[in-house]
Amino acid sequence: MSIATTAHYAMIWLLEFDGRLHSSTLPDHIDSVLDIGCGTGQWALAMADSRPNTRIVAIDLALPNIIPPPNLELVSSNADQPWLFDDLFDFIHARTISSGIHDWPGLLARCKDHLKPGGRLEILDVNLPFGAAAANVDNSLSPFIQWGNAAEESWAQKGLDFRATESTYKGFANWGLSMFRKRSHSGHWEWADTKKGRKIGALTLQSFLVLMDLAGTFLFFNNPNFSEDHPQGLMSSTREDLVESCWDTLFYYLHATPLIKQFPFLLNWAQRMPHGIVSYFSPALARILQLHQDMHERAAKYLESQHRPKEDTSGNPRPELFHIIYTSSLPLAERSLQRMAQEGFTAILAGSETTARILTSATYYVLANPHVLIRLKIELDNAIQDRSKIPSFQILRKLPWLTAVIKEALRISALLTSRLPLLAPNILQFAEWTIPEKTPTSMTIRDVLLNLSAFTDPETFDPGRWLMGEERHQLDLERYFVPFSRENRICPGIE
């Protein structure tokens, strides 16, 4: 397993246990800990650091290239074979070891023999099969789930068990041990209800993609049920199912928007069609409709929660979108279930591709202009005294050059090309044209941001244009800085 994959799994466990290194509750003082399959040694190092008076023994076939502290011992040993030491431990810990264990009963027996009376054994692992949580999703249609089923079959032919933690659980009771089990369901993307869940989902996706690239072909090697080309084709379809389908959906939505604007009934018509039919003819449209449905269910869940006893939210300084809409001064009709679901849908689409592209553009322009990069590094070095901590937004927003770089990236990228109409309450006079009140009026934002009459040399990336120092000049530029539109149509992403 690669260092990147191991790091992803380590972060997943830390998030799952709210920053703790293990799920088990341990006494303040224990004498010894055994780490089975230590990998890169990061867990053992962290455990040794957090418990300096505890002896930590870490075993693996290949030992990590680290300098252990005095209380950490690295032992080359195969956890799948009889161990060459007789030590007893207060706590035995193992994680993601399914790929290396053939004899689970033997491993568990060795753990039992090496536990002190009252000691604890904790095993963390991934349990297959993969599957969708939603009952209305056909698992057989997903390449991701097909890959999981095929991998499990090939794994079993090599004497390995993807479901070992589940199948061996019952055996513990026969030893007279007190058993505790916790299951955690992780999504492969960032659609979870909680911030922690979204982080776990993103890390799960990253770790799976790395694992699939490194171990995918090995899993299917010498499997008589698969042709030579089958593994590569299945991995390609799986990668598209997990990642590329997301962008395909976004692009499909962007291309369909002009048509839906003119014929809004088409979307309502598609929503009434059976999901299977829509998916057959247009998988991208089916994913858009599914996202609509997901947002509708989440909004309904939030509204239902408002009728239950209120929970303490003082520890959450950033309320969710539904809460902001529901507690706003908007008329009741504009705080309906349908409105909130639509806002959630828009927030996901508007906050994904746009943000990614702006960051991509900013990175390119900064690297392509060394003088911009050097000045940015100097400003950040002076502002960030402790590099182990991410500076707050309040600190970063006061950095003039960083702010100028961001504004220039927003200006020159000019991502928003769709016209956002406004209705003026009064008559507008533009040159010799008189525009009646409440006439839909709009223009393309990109034409403003790259207009030669507003910006000198508009095609050049020049953050310095925002730091000219002349108040009049600054006011003129700010007047034409409209990447988020203006007034009632201003994008919430500006905050």
Return binding residues for heme: 491
Of 245, 350, 342, the residue nearest 287 (C-alpha): 245
- Phi, psi values for residue 157, rounded to 5°: -65, -20
Which residue ranges make up the annotated binding site? 491
